Amino acid sequence: MTARIIDGRERAHRLRAKIKDTVSSFKQDGLGTPGLAVVLVGSDPASEVYVRSKLRATEEAGIQSFSHHFEDTVTQADLLAFVERLNTDPAVHGILVQLPLPAHIDKLAVINAIAPDKDVDGFHLENVGRLATGQPSFIPCTPLGCLMLLREELGDLRGRVATIVGCSNIVGHPMAELLLKNECTVLIAHEYTRDTGALVRQADIVVAAAGVPGLIKADWLKPGACVIDVGINRVAAPEKGLADDGAPKTKLVGDVDFAAALAVADAITPVPGGVGPMTIACLLLNTVDAFCTQAGRAKPACLAA
């Protein structure tokens, strides 16, 4: 048995093509152009890479992008004042503040300063509450991308047992809400779970989002499980040789022992090339959704999540 590889890049490519066509139709109909503002504070290398990827994808989809970079010395008051300016800017339909923020800035204060109808990350308290109570809301991009991959791979999710490893507010919690909404039986493992393997072995669906490379072992998996690996971990790869500074080169790996899991799972996402591309595509999807909501229009049926 060799698991099918769930190709997140290909799925994201199809979704982004639909988004691009939709945005083009908005322009042709004289409805205007969706706009996304991305705010970066400081010079974290990983954050800079993520922001460049998001802005590039935004522009390729025909969405207006507004990039704003602050030094890590910016005060919380100044950052909050700038977010309020974006809230009232009619050209900006979605706002994303790249995390993490410097230690002197209250992350939650900034997130909750974003207007809920422009919160395309889905982190605002109002959107979190709406998701938890089954009301229309912006859904965090990574869980939304995971759900879309699962639906395409498995179809109806009703009655399936799903184990989520990791309980962050960015992935674990919203993923649990989405799977419950799809009538799964949901188990959640976290750092204090006494036997994570026992919970994973029960699962038809495994969502690994702990941020620990290779945490999920093949013998933890139920034969035939569908595995969604959200982990993005950079580890040393001595087999690739040395970098210019003499240190071993690195590679990206997930939270699942991928090579071993291929012999047990029915389907699995790779790292990279699985969930990551879907996260960016879903950011664009949420931006179009925000544009439609603010214009009093229904989101096109072709973009239904």
Residue 301 has a pLDDT of: 77
Instruction: Write the pLDDT tens digit of every residue in 11-61.
Output: 999 999 999 999 999 999 999 999 999 999 999 888 998 999 999 999 999
pLDDT of residue 152: 96
Q: What is the per-residue pLDDT across 120-131, written as a single tens digit (0 to 9) for each?
A: 999 999 999 999
Enclosing domain of residue 117: 27-122
- Classify residue 105: in a domain, yes or no: yes
Catalytic residue from among 28, 64, 72, 98: 98
pLDDT tens digits for range 255-304: 999 999 999 999 999 999 999 999 999 999 999 999 999 998 888 777 77
Amino acid, res. 129: G
Asked whether residue 102 falls in the same domain as residue 220, the answer is no
- Find the helix or strand (DSSP H, E) in which 246 lies: none
Question: pLDDT by residue (tens digit) across 189-243?
Answer: 999 999 999 999 999 999 999 999 999 999 999 999 999 999 999 998 888 888 8
Task: Assess if residue 17 is contained within a domain.
Answer: no
Tally the domains of the chain. Answer: 2
Per annotation, catalytic residue among 7, 18, 21, 54:
54
- 47 known ligand binder: no
The larger pLDDT score, comparing residue 1 to residue 14, is at: 14
Peptide bond into 34 cis (omega under 30): no
CA distances to 12, 215, 285 from 140, in Å:
16, 24, 11
Residue 289 phi/psi, 5-degree rounding, is -60, -45
Query: Which residue's structure tokens are 């970098």?
Result: 243
pLDDT for the residue 298 = 84
Half-sphere exposure of 268 (CA within 13 A, CB side): 29
Q: Could you tell me the sign of the dihedral formed by the alpha carbons of 157, 158, 161, 165, in that order? A: positive
The whole-number pLDDT of residue 243 equals: 83
What token pair was written down for 32?
A: 């205007």
Q: Do the annotations mark residue 166 as ligand-binding?
A: yes
Q: Is residue 127 part of a domain?
A: no
List, for residues 83-92, the tens digit of each pLDDT value.
Answer: 999 999 999 9
Helix (H) / strand (E) element for 102: namely none
What pLDDT, on a 0 to 100 scale, did the predictor assign at position 245? 83
Specify if 289 maps to a domain. Answer: no
pLDDT of residue 228: 98
Is the domain of 146 the same as that of 265? Answer: yes
- 3-state class of 45 per DSSP? helix
- Return the percent helix, strand and coil in the chain, to nearest 5: 40, 15, 40
The pLDDT, as a whole number, for residue 45 is 87
Q: Which residue among the candidates 28, 44, 89, 121 is catalytic per the annotation?
A: 121
> 173 and 229 share a domain?
yes
Does residue 305 surpass a pLDDT of 70?
no
Looking up residue 231, the CATH number of its domain turns out to be 3.40.50.720
Same domain, 160 and 254: yes
| pLDDT of residue 170 exceeding 80 | yes
For residue 25, give the H/E element and its range.
helix 8-28
- 92/166 same-domain check: no
DSSP E strands, the chain: 4-5, 35-41, 64-70, 94-97, 161-165, 185-189, 205-208, 226-229, 233-236, 250-253, 267-268
98 is annotated as an active-site residue: yes
Cα 148 versus chain centre, distance: 11
Question: Is 168 known as a binding-site position?
Answer: yes
CATH number at residue 47: 3.40.50.10860
Would you state the torsion angle of the CA atoms of residues 274, 277, 278, 282, taken in this order, to the nearest 10 degrees?
A: 170
Q: What length does the chain have? A: 305
